[in-house]
C-alpha cells in the first residue's frame, strides 16, 4: 500500500467520532498498512486513522525511535479500561500540528484493551511515553485533539501559531 497525506489541524475530519471496526477484512488490513507507511515516512510515534481521513477506530504506535525494544503495535477498537489518578506532565507533538510541541498533563498510567490485526483481543498496561501515546491516539478516535488538553493559558499563547497552521492547510 502507500503513504497517504496527513490531515492538518483545521480539517473537520479530525473532529469526528470514529466508527467501530466490524470485521478485520482487507480494507482494514490496507488501512493499517497505509498508516504504517505514513507513520514511518513522517517519523512519528503514533498515528490514528482519522489523520489519514479514515473515520475508523484504529491507531498504531511505533515507539522504536525512543525504545529499541518496542515494535509496531496496532490497536483496533481500543477501549480505555483504567487510568491512574496520578498525572504526568510530558511534552507532546502531533503529526496533524507540524512543529508544535507542548507539555501536557494526562494520567501517568493507562490500561487499554484492543484487538490486533489477527483479530486477537489483548490488554496492555502502560506508563511513561507508551501511556502518553495511547491516550493521545485514543483521543483522535473521539475527535479530541491535544490542544484540547492544554491549559487555556497555553492555548492562548499558541493562538497565532494555530491560526497559521489552519491557513497553510
Q: Which residues bind Zn ion (CB under 5 A)?
A: 94
Q: For residue 45, what are the CA distances in angstroms to 38, 99, 116, 153, 166? A: 11, 14, 18, 26, 23
78 close to 113: Cβ distance less than 8 angstroms: yes
Q: Least distance in Å: CB of 26 to Zn ion?
A: 26
Q: Least distance in Å: CB of 40 to Zn ion?
A: 16
Which one of 79, 86, 92, 137 is the catalytic residue? 137
Which grid coordinates are listed for 6?
496527513
Q: Least distance in Å: CB of 28 to Zn ion?
A: 20
To the query of whether residue 82 is one of the catalytic residues in this protein, the response is no
Alpha helices for the chain (secondary structure H): 26-42, 128-141, 152-157, 159-168
Residue closest to Zn ion (Cβ): 94
109 vs 136, beta carbon nearer Zn ion = 136
Catalytic residue numbers, as ranges: 137
Amino acid at each position: 500500500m502507500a503513504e497517504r497525506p496527513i490531515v492538518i489541524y483545521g480539517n473537520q475530519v479530525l473532529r469526528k467520532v470514529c466508527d467501530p471496526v466490524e470485521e478485520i477484512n482487507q480494507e482494514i488490513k490496507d488501512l493499517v498498512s497505509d498508516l504504517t507507511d505514513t507513520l514511518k515516512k513522517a517519523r512519528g510515534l503514533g498515528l490514528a486513522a482519522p489523520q489519514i481521513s479514515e473515520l475508523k477506530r484504529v491507531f498504531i504506535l511505533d515507539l522504536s525511535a525512543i525504545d529499541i525494544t518496542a515494535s509496531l503495535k496496532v490497536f483496533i477498537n481500543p477501549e480505555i479500561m483504567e487510568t491512574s489518578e496520578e498525572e504526568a506532565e510530558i511534552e507532546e507533538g502531533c503529526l496533524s500540528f507540524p512543529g508544535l510541541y507542548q507539555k501536557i498533563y494526562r494520567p501517568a498510567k493507562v490500561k487499554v484493551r484492543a484487538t490486533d490485526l489477527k483479530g486477537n483481543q489483548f490488554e496492555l498496561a502502560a506508563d511513561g511515553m507508551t501511556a502518553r501515546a495511547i491516550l493521545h491516539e485514543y483521543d483522535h478516535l473521539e475527535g479530541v485533539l491535544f490542544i484540547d488538553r492544554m491549559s487555556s493559558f497555553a492555548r492562548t499563547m499558541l493562538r497565532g501559531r494555530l491560526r497559521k497552521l489552519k491557513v497553510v492547510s
